[in-house]
Structure 1
């Protein structure tokens, strides 16, 4: 192959042919090759090409806060189909992104495929194998007996997954999809196309995406912050070798992640003092995070998701327990302190950053000890919805790696408020429910099965649900209330607020009253059995 060409974003966009399958490396704003995606949108606007492309987004491309990502190409005639782990999300008060209007308007087939499976599909395409055989997603919205990953009617008419029998067992089969163009991102490219990631908050999956494209005769476009002389990058620093790269686009103003130009602690170039991390304010959500923290065992590797549970690392900092567990997140960080809000998906002070496809292999095989996740709804079987919310679907981003993470996790702690929009307060070391929530979150059947309670029971998974007013456990007989908060009436505030029967075979004990005081609670983690 020839050495890669140094092109403008518009010149690189001209390399994408009509009808191409295009794979894009990004996780919301993290690692998003936004300049090239913007150029693709401009090219279509001026020339009407490329037409009818299919895009693959193993995690997500762009956000609603300044990095448009997929929205640059969410245009009728340009985008024909999209398969993504997740999609841009935002507040319910905001207008939905253009991609959501296309999805909900049934303008294109759109699929929500678990992020790890999408990465697996790239690996299989690279090796010219037929596809992915997996149990990840059985009895969830991924299963063809439910939605089969389809987000609208047009997707349902073009299935991407089937249920098959192999070696005497039931599996999900995702046929390989061969990408012909990869649009990836790095910090630095040398003149030979070698890519390094020294300012990035995660590698994500560019190597797997580039391999899938290169091995199938396609074009790999790399957007970078800067160009270096050939031979100046250390070989151990190169994640994607130049032999896989066809074109380089220099975009010096690329953001490190959403709302973040550049923060060296995110890329592991400096370590922040623990005292520099803002601790959660004392409120009801902090009580939930404290109770979640009590589920941890010292020495565990613990995955963490978005929502209330994302504050648990800061609870450990406040309690002097930082380092007692090792945090692992799907974007690749191992250790350190997972970040919040716009920087979610990154960590400061990480011990290691691994490529996302390998992190997902770790998750899918259940190699970690516990996962702390959120819920939108819980149903009578213990199933959880995190991926679809009524008539405002853009408020959620889709499932991302949630299905990969929960498929074989040994222990899962779901956290959230018992009902939506309740008026809650802490009064005298007890919970005060001043007004009950407008929407019940414990429902007979969840709107979207992101996590299967039936499958969890069959596999013997340890599942706990932590709310502000009670703690519950999933059992073969149903969901059992094991604890209630001080100030809570079991019948009025818990049992009568669920659409299904919660079980109380023994009287629930009171949650630790110390959690309802502003000062640290003297947290002690569980000790592993010897």
Structure 2
């Protein structure tokens, strides 16, 4: 979801045919892919010299490419990249936060440089600043030469609507930060509409910020609402709990049933990808507790039953969809009562690894932002096969 697939395809095709563009620095806050397309288009030697992102777990080609040193890999917390776009747009020097202290993103450890080419050549994106005798992480701003986002509809003045998108993500922040960096702003449109067809309250990105609009030639392939569906009203429409989808019994559902026993009515909860994303929402719906617990996902959705697998990040029948960075403002400020996370490796001291597994660079996604600020952190994983 949220992928400007027609533009990404065009960039890769141009490079393979002409050798241009090349040596790009690709920055992305989330990790949208269906294991075949999306950001996988940039896993080509020479096309990108550096990838600055949060998560490549749904990109097997990119993950292996970075693990083999095909490009410099810099992993920063998802929420810090999302909110950094706004700092760039506002002309601030960067983000000052405690998120990331003591993790591999801490510059006293690795500074987020997760492969050797990055350690040898990438600039420092993070520093330590002391404020009132406390250590803070300082995520530095950078210039954005080209900002790419997508919209459901664009009118003749360039005004953009995301009304049919299952998530809002970073459309406005990317457009503002690229524009204020004197860069180029490109929007992929699912459809073009007449001037005035988009009500002012439904404009997500004003036309004055947009330099170029590209209509997706094959929207059913290049502008899908999610990998699973071209468009499904359920992902942008509220509903009563009686209509929420149910899941068949599985080991994952059993884990979800056990996990929700830690919750209390009125709790606001985040769920991570993997077992939590596949099981916690269905377990709450099955128990009739969907109205008693507010489920959220870092993409910006509230309520409903979250989709799993490569469609993680959207929910069936959400109660609200807010911008990506706004969700992380809430998370980083301590708004979560609980989070349910998956884990790749856990040692006897409770240290958890989700970012590098088996020679692959996976990335942390929103894991660091969320686990360092939630009041309860519960890991959901299976010991099968061990």
TM-score, structure 1 normalization: 0.69
Deviations 1:256-298 (A, max 9, x none): 1123211111122x648745613231x4433322111110000
Corresponding residue for residue 322 of structure 1? 290
* Structure-2 separation of matches of 1:308 and 1:102: 26
More helix by share: 2
* SS of 2:149 mapped into structure 1: strand
How far apart are residue 376 of structure 1 and its match? 2.0
SS where residue 248 of structure 1 aligns? strand
Whether 1:259 aligns to 2:228 is: yes
Task: Identify the match of residue 303 of structure 1 among 256, 270, 287.
Answer: 270
Larger Rg: 1
Quote the residue 1:243 is aligned against.
208
Partners in 1 of 2:32 and 2:143 — Cα distance? 19
What is the distance in 2 between the residues matched to 1:89 and 1:229? 37
Inter-CA distance 265–308: structure 2 relative to 1 (3 Å threshold):
same
2:354 counterpart of 1:389: no
Is the CA contact (8 Å cut-off) linking 1:56 and 1:82 kept in structure 2?
yes
Number of the residue aligned with 1:175: 140
The 1-side partners of 2:57 and 2:203 are apart by 29
Is the CA contact 2:169–2:323 (under 8 Å) kept in the aligned structure 1?
Answer: yes
Q: Relative to structure 1, is the Cα distance of residues 285 and 273 closer, same or farther in structure 2, using a 3 angstrom cutoff?
A: closer
Task: Give 1:399's match in structure 2, choosing from 364, 367, 374.
Answer: 364
How far residue 123 of structure 1 moved from its aligned partner, in angstroms, is: 1.6
Alpha-carbon distance between aligned partners in 1 of 2:241 and 2:319, rounded to the nearest angstrom: 15
Does residue 343 (structure 1) correspond to residue 311 (structure 2)? The answer is: yes
Q: CA deviation at 1:88?
A: 4.8
Which runs of structure 2 are paired with 1:51-90 in the superposition (5 Å)? 51-65=22-36, 68-89=37-58
For residues 65-214 of structure 1, the aligned pairs below 5 Å read 65=36, 68-89=37-58, 96-97=60-61, 99-157=62-120, 158=122, 159-214=124-179
- The size of the alignment, in residue pairs, is 379
Retained in 2: the 8 A contact 1:122–1:212? Answer: yes
Q: Which runs of 5+ in 1 are unaligned?
A: 1-29, 91-95, 422-436, 438-530
**Whole-Å separation in 2 of the counterparts to 1:265 and 1:154:** 44
Distance 1:120 1:374 in 2: 24
Distance 1:133 1:277 in 2: 41
TM-score normalized with structure 2 length: 0.93
Secondary structure of the structure 2 residue equivalent to 1:312: helix
**Structural mapping, 1:428-467, within 5 Å:** 437=386
CA shift for structure 1 position 116: 0.8
SS of aligned partner of 1:177 = coil
| Larger CA deviation: 39-48 vs 377-386 | 377-386
How far is 1:402 from its partner? 1.1
Deviation at 1:128, TM superposition (A): 2.1
Distance in 1 separating the partners of 2:184 and 2:105: 30
**Shift, 1:160, TM fit:** 2.2
